[in-house]
Amino acid sequence: MKLIEELYNMYRTKLTGDEEDIDMLTFAVLEQLDRKEILELLHDMDEQELTNLMGLYIIESLKGKFAQNSINAKPTYFSPRTFH
């Protein structure tokens, strides 16, 4: 994707590439894009890029859903045992 290549070339000597840097850069870019621009980027993706994007979206959404569900789950109560 052209955007990724441009971002990489622009920041490869300025950032370390660790997860924190990439998160910061990603959120900064997304903050600058409006809905129309995001849809244009999606439209320009080839089939594999779009499939990869949807895969990541599904994976991360399900992780969040399962994590949220485990936080909201009622505690499991076990029957008391006697230990000697």
Helix ranges (H only) for 1-84 are: 2-11, 19-32, 35-44, 47-72
pLDDT digits (tens, 9 = 90+) for 6-26: 999 999 999 998 999 999 999
Rounded distance between C-alpha atoms, residue 28 and residue 20, angstroms: 12
Q: Is the dihedral of CA 38, 5, 24, 18 positive or negative?
A: positive
Query: Do residue 41 and residue 26 come from a single domain?
Result: no
Domain assignment present for residue 83? The answer is: no
pTM of the model: 0.69
Rounded distance between C-alpha atoms, residue 35 and residue 42, angstroms: 11
Query: Do residue 42 and residue 16 come from a single domain?
Result: no
CB of 7 closer than 8 Å to CB of 29: yes
Structural domain boundaries, residue 60: 34-71
pLDDT digits (tens, 9 = 90+) for 51-62: 999 999 999 999
Query: Do residue 43 and residue 66 come from a single domain?
Result: yes
